[in-house]
Amino acid sequence: MAALVSLALLASSACVPAPESGIVVVPTTVTTPQWPDAADPFVLPDGGRYHVFSSHTIWGGTFRMPVRAVDDLTRVYSPQDWVDVTVEGMPRRPAWSADDDVFWAPTVARAADGRYVAFFVANRRDPPNPRNPQCIGRAVASRPDGPYAAEPGPFTCGLHGVGGAIDPSLVQAADGQWFLHATFDNTDYNIWAFGLDANLDQGRDVYGLAGYWPTPAFWRSQPWEGFVMENPAMVRDPYSGSYALTYSAVDYWFRPGHATGVARCAGPLGACTASTSGPWIVQGPVGTGPGGLSFFTDFDGSIRAVYASWPPGGEYYWPRRATVAAVRDVATRPTLVPLVVDPASAPVPVARRAIP
C-alpha cells in the first residue's frame, strides 16, 4: 500500500537533519492527579471550556469514548463528581471494529470546515494479523463533545495495512499544516507520521487506507527504552520554532516502571534526537507508570501537558488518573509545573541531564 504524500509536503520536509544537542531535561515524578479516571487523556480547549477525552472506561458506567467538559484545570474531582460530568462521545460502534471493549486514545481538533475530527484506536474485525488487530479510525462531529460518527473503514492499520497501529496524536506545524503521529506495531521502528489537509484528512489508497510518510519519525535507540515505545505526542515551541516529542517506554503500560521520555525534533516528520540519559517522567509516591501524555494550548496561549498514572499498588486493576501541568522551556529545558499545589505530592526532581 503506497505511502502517498503531497508534492508540497515532499519538497518542504525532505532531508531535514536531526537537531543538535542543547536541551536540558529535569526528570520528575508524578504529581497530584486532578481527574480520577482518564487513561490516555487528551484536552481540547473550545468555547471557554476544557473538553477531556480518554480511553474506554467501565467505572461509573460503560462509555466507549468518555468526554467531560470542565471549567477549572486545578479542581481535583472525586470519582462520583467525575462520573457526573461524563457523557458518551461516540454512541455507535464503528462499523469496522470488533465487538469488544477496545477503544483507546482519542485525539481531537477542529478542522477548517468547522467540524470536530477525532482519531481513535479500536480492534478491527477478522484481522489479517491477529497478534496486532488494532487500527486507527477517524470520526467527525458538529460539537466538541459529540456525538462523533466514525467513518465506515479504518484510517490506518499500520505497516502495509496489517501491522497494527495505536496511539494517534495530532500536531499543527508553524505553517498551519496538520500532522498525525501514531505508534506502529510489528516493527522496531515505532513512531510514524501522516500529512493531513486542512480538514484533518488525506486521500486513501485502493484499500481505503491513508498513506504514511515512508520513513519513521522516531524509533528506539536508548537502553532505558526497553522493548516498547508508544504514545507519541509532539509540541512546537512558539519561541524557538523547534519541536519536542514525548513518548512512553521502558515497560508495558500496565506496570509501575512504564515511563515517559522526551526527544528533540527538527519537524513533525523528524528527524528526532533522543535523550541519552533516561526518561522525563517516572514513578513516585503519588503515581506509577506515567504515560499517555498529550499537549494542548490553553486559552492564553500557554502550553499544557496532561498524562496518566496508576495509583501505587493498583496497577492494571484500578483506573488510571490524569494530571495536568504547565510546560515551561519546551525547546531548552522542558519542565512540568503542577497546577495543583499539594506538598505531599511535590515533584521529585532527579539529576539534571542533557538531551544531545
Tens of pLDDT, residues 101-144? 899 999 999 999 999 999 999 999 999 999 999 999 999 999 99
Taking the C-alpha atoms of residue 56 and residue 40, their distance in angstroms, rounded to an integer, is: 10
* Residue 312: predicted pLDDT: 96
Taking the C-alpha atoms of residue 330 and residue 263, their distance in angstroms, rounded to an integer, is: 11
Q: Are strands 28-29 and 281-282 parallel, antiparallel or unpaired?
A: parallel
**For residue 235, which of 303, 143, 322 has the smallest C-alpha distance?**
303
Copy the grid coordinates of residue 37: 479516571
Q: What's the pTM?
A: 0.92
- Three-state secondary structure call for residue 7: helix
Copy the grid coordinates of residue 288: 506509577
CB 260 within 8 A of CB 354: no
Residue 9 belongs to some domain of the structure: no
Tens of pLDDT, residues 22-71? 467 788 999 999 999 999 999 999 999 999 999 999 888 899 999 999 99
pLDDT tens for the 356 residues of the chain, in order: 434 433 334 334 445 666 555 467 788 999 999 999 999 999 999 999 999 999 999 888 899 999 999 999 999 999 999 999 999 999 999 999 999 989 999 999 999 999 999 999 999 999 999 999 999 999 999 999 999 999 999 999 999 999 999 999 999 999 999 999 999 999 989 999 999 999 999 999 999 999 999 999 999 888 889 887 999 999 998 887 889 999 999 878 899 999 999 998 989 998 888 877 789 999 999 999 999 999 999 999 999 999 999 999 999 999 999 999 999 988 778 889 999 866 556 555 544 334 33
Residue 347 belongs to some domain of the structure: yes
* Residue 25: predicted pLDDT: 79
DSSP string, 234-300: EEE-TTT--EEEEEEESS-TTSTT-EEEEEEESSTT--EEE-SS--SEE--SS-EEEEEEEEEE-TT
Residue 80 belongs to some domain of the structure: yes
* Residue 23: predicted pLDDT: 66
Query: Which CATH number does the domain housing residue 54 bear?
Result: 2.115.10.20
Taking the C-alpha atoms of residue 138 and residue 197, their distance in angstroms, rounded to an integer, is: 14
**For residue 4, which of 216, 156, 194, 207 has the smallest C-alpha distance?**
194
* Residue 313: predicted pLDDT: 95
CA 202 distance to own-chain centroid:
20
Note down the domain range covering 139: 19-355
Residue 145 belongs to some domain of the structure: yes
Buried b (16+ CB within 10 A) or exposed e, 201-220: bbebeeeebbbbbeebbbbb
* Residue 4: predicted pLDDT: 40
Residue 5 belongs to some domain of the structure: no
Residue 131 belongs to some domain of the structure: yes
Q: How many CB atoms lie within 10 A of CB 10?
A: 12
* Residue 344: predicted pLDDT: 58
Domain count, the chain: 1
* Residue 348: predicted pLDDT: 57
Phi, psi of 83 (to 5 degrees): -60, -40
Residue 2 belongs to some domain of the structure: no
Residue 204 belongs to some domain of the structure: yes
